[in-house]
Chain A
């Protein structure tokens, strides 16, 4: 994909060079005039220059697209690396946590405090169940790992993070990397905004459900309202309200389009901020699906809540 742009750019570069050489070598134009056309030399010259100009525009355009692709791929690698590091960090902190709990159990066992041990284990297993629920109900390893990371992050920042899923991942055919990049970028932004937002209760909810032809994801938070003028530009590359690259949501938009889906944003005082991502289940005929209606009261068969 990336090399396609380079090849196209190179092809147009060659055509431009060829055209320029023809123009610079007057005799080619003279020859053409004698044999094929009877135009004025200046006219032929202008025509050739215009053709070279068009070739040049194409070569620059494709080269620019090639650079944009490099840019995106490198950024994607950075994001994946950062996500992996976060996952490692989360697992290490959990390991540390379990070790502490084992030490408490060992100490209790040494003093034969069996009842306390049972109570303690029952208490800890509740915490364990939450992550277990996440891993069993969302039976997609990549997505559940991502949610686990974000739930830990949110918890550390005093944000209530809830995931509700009604998706059967058995028949999941979408690229987990792309979907985690799409959802991860939105959730990460939401957590960062909620972290700076002063409110009694800061909540982020991810709701997933499926219809016949689509998967729907709604990422909602009760953070500050995004003004209309920002909503219009929020998916533009380079647009940012914080000190960042401003590429996160533009990548989200591009990846969503690449998968044949759509993304929309709704933000107001009453209902909070909601990003809605709709992705077709299969890439074939993706442009013909209808947007399903979203009912917040829809009964979800599986629900995971992490506070």
Chain B
């Protein structure tokens, strides 16, 4: 069960990583981001156990990690990386917020955000909180990824 949860959290980190790429207009294959997102995931969860961060600090920490990863791996401008990472985190948090009250599915399932460590609740929450980021990725793919030169422009800097 724990392994399954870890896998779900890893998928969550990968989606956030991919969302950040989408905000910056970078088109990468899924296979190319498996390793970097795994490194980010390991760094997040080891630090969570070691330092016992609160959710807010955890989000800031994830944004910083994403930012560093993008600057180091893709040599992207620091300002763009920061904006991309912050926008990704805002999107994920917004996704969480939208799911708490307005989403009747969550209400019917009687899941309260951040209030239960129950396995099934965690699974549902992990899946539902990815809905908004995934929709955003699809929308961005339809618009920004059409700017093909963006890839070469950002990556050659």
In the assembled complex, A59 has its CB within 8 A of some CB on chain B: yes
State whether the Cβ of A45 lies closer than 8 Å to any Cβ in chain B.
Answer: yes
Which residue of A has the minimal Cβ distance to B146? A238
In Å, the complex CA distance between A70 and B152 comes to 12
The proximity string for B residues 39-72 relative to A, scoring 1 for CB distances below 8 Å and 0 otherwise, is 0000000000000000010000000000000000
B134 at the interface (CB under 8 A from A): no
Indicate which residue in B93, B94, B100, B149 contacts A71 across the interface (CB closer than 8 Å).
B149
Sorting the interface of chain A by its residue count into under 10, 10 to 19, 20 to 34 or 35 or more gives: 20 to 34
A20 touches B94 (CB 8 A): yes
Give the docked Cα–Cα distance between A45 and B24 (Å): 31
Residues on the B chain within 8 Å of A126, using CB: none
Is the pair A63, B94 in contact by a Cβ cutoff of 8 Å?
Answer: no
Contact (Cβ within 8 A) A46 B102? yes
Of all chain A residues, which has the CB nearest B97?
A49
* Cα A52 to Cα B102 with chains together (Å): 13
Per the 8 Å Cβ criterion, residues 125-157 of B in contact with A are: 136, 143-144, 146-150, 153
Q: B24 to nearest A CB, angstroms?
A: 7
A67–B148 touching, CB < 8 Å: no
- B window 99-117: CB within 8 A of A: 100-102
A13 B83 Cβ-Cβ under 8 A: yes
* Residues in chain B near residue A59, CB distance under 8 A: 87, 90
A294 within 8 A of B: no
Q: Are A237 and B147 in contact (CB under 8 A)?
A: yes
Question: Which residues from chain B contact A70 at a C-beta distance below 8 Å?
Answer: 150, 153
Chain B nearest Cβ from A160, distance in angstroms: 33
Residues in chain B near residue A24, CB distance under 8 A: 56, 93, 97
Kindly identify which residue among B24, B90, B148, B149 contacts A16, using a CB–CB cutoff of 8 Å. Answer: B90
Q: How far is the CB of B138 from chain A (nearest CB, A)?
A: 14
* Docked CA distance A49–B83 (Å): 21
Return B70 CB to nearest CB of chain A, in Å.
Answer: 14
- Contact: A64 with B148, CB < 8 Å? no
Q: Is A188 an interface residue (CB 8 A)?
A: no
Please name all residues of chain B whose beta carbon is closer than 8 Å to the beta carbon of A209 when the two chains form the complex: none
Which residues of the other chain, A, contact B98 by a CB distance below 8 angstroms? Answer: 49, 53
When distances are taken between beta carbons in the complex, the residues of chain B under 8 Å from A45 are: 100-101
Q: Which residues 1-51 of B sit at the A interface, judged by CB distance below 8 A?
A: 23-25
Q: A270 CB to closest chain B CB, in angstroms?
A: 35
A53 to B148, CA, bound (A): 28
B79: Cβ under 8 A from any A Cβ: yes
The answer to whether residues A63 and B83 also contact, given A56-B91, A71-B150, A238-B147 and a CB cut-off of 8 A, is yes
6 A-B pairs with the lowest CB-CB distances in the bound complex, closest first: A238-B146, A74-B153, A45-B101, A49-B97, A16-B90, A20-B93
Contacts A20-B97, A71-B149 known; list 19 others, CB within 8 Å. A9-B83, A13-B87, A16-B90, A17-B90, A20-B94, A42-B101, A45-B100, A46-B101, A49-B94, A60-B136, A63-B23, A67-B24, A67-B25, A67-B80, A70-B150, A71-B150, A74-B149, A237-B147, A238-B147
Taking Cβ atoms with an 8 Å cutoff, the residues of B that contact A are 23-25, 56, 79-80, 83, 86-87, 90-91, 93-94, 97-98, 100-102, 136, 143-144, 146-150, 153
Q: List 7 A-B contacts (CB under 8 A).
A: A52-B94, A64-B144, A67-B24, A67-B147, A74-B149, A75-B149, A245-B148
